[in-house]
Structure formats: structure tokens, C-alpha cells
Amino acid sequence: MSDSVDERAALLAERLNFLFAHIHPRGGAPQSNEAVGLATGLPTADIADLRAGVPLDRPPGTCPFVSRLEHLLRTRVTESGVPYLLGDVAKTCGKSRVWLYNLLAGKSKPTLESTMAICRMFQVDPSFFTDDPPQALARHFGVAAGAAFFSLPPDDVRVRDTKASVELLVELREAGVPAVIGRYLGALPPTGHAAHG
């Protein structure tokens, strides 16, 4: 493993841990790896590795669609509190169970139409299925600079502005200033996102 890969992983870890330490759900403690995994669809072990500075070993071009769909099926429940049945998911999407089984087995590819149907059903943004880990994490924490925040040099204006905005938000939160004031201060990251769905 090259130093540049290790350096990038260390930089991502430092910035990710900064976000975990400072951006909390409204009225709550720091977010757990599990809570962020639930919201982003990223495996908890991957989040732990990223926070520890361990590079994720993924082949280029790996599509997270199937693992994120499996994640939704494992973690989301119906309005009555029961897990979704595959047949019900397929029917809601206007498809057959065979279609869903083939999709989960990687035997067929999702179309835009079927992806949008799944997104509507589980109330997630289409980016839930396509974001790589840095993109998913930046979106979850509300980082305006996006995934670039995790790789830009420390003196980049987007990194400095993001960190300053987060620190200001923390000061406001600690001072008991209502969160609505943050909306008038510019593009501050929110104090935390609820899980999708």
C-alpha cells in the first residue's frame, strides 16, 4: 500500500472524526457508527475502518446498489412496524418477485424507473444507491463541499470554511441558540440528519 493511499485514508479519518465529534442529532450525543450506517447504507464496519484510517479495499467501479437495497430490506419496516416482505416490495414497485430476486442476486440491473420506485417506497434519495462512501458521508453530515472535504489540503478555503461553520454551529448549540438561527448564517451543516426513511 502506498504512502499516498495511507495519507489520504488518514486525512479522511481526521475529517470524518471531526464531523462525528461536532455534528450531533438535535439534543443528542455524538452519532454512532451504527446510526450513520443506518442513514447512509454504508456498512458499520466500513465506517469504523474509515474512522480508523483504514482504506476501503474496493475494486474500481464497484456498484453499491445491491448491498444498499439489502440494507434497506434489513433495516426498514412498514408503517405497522413489520419488516418488508420481498413480494410486497416487488408489487409496490410494479414488478414481480422474480425481478426482485434477480436484482438482489445481481442477475439483472436496476433501471431508472425501478430505482425511482424503490426510492419512493423507502423514501430515500436516488443518491442513496450511487454515492461512494465519502459522498454518502458528506451528504449525511450536510457538508456543502461534498466528498472533496475529505481529500482537499488543510489550507483549502472549502475545508477552512466547513470547519469554521461547524465550529460556529457547535458554539451556537452550546450557547443554547435556537437551531433556526443557523439557517440565517449561511450554508452551515445541520446539527444532524435523521435516518433516511
CATH number, domain with residue 21: 1.10.260.40
Its pTM stands at: 0.76
CA distance 54 to 131: 19
pLDDT tens figures, 24-78: 877 677 889 999 998 898 888 899 999 999 988 765 556 688 889 999 998 899 8
pLDDT tens figures, 88-143: 999 999 999 999 999 999 899 999 999 999 999 999 999 899 888 999 999 999 99
Say if residue 71 is in the same domain as residue 125: yes
CA distance 51 to 89: 34
Please give the tally of structural domains in the chain. Answer: 2
Say if residue 139 is in the same domain as residue 176: yes
For 76-120, the three-class secondary structure string (H helix, E strand, C coil) is: CECCCCCECCHHHHHHHCCCCHHHHHHHHCCCCCCCHHHHHHHHH
Say if residue 83 is in the same domain as residue 170: no
pLDDT tens figures, 14-37: 999 999 998 887 767 788 999 999
Say if residue 21 is in the same domain as residue 72: no
pLDDT value for 85: 92
Residue 191 lies in a domain: no
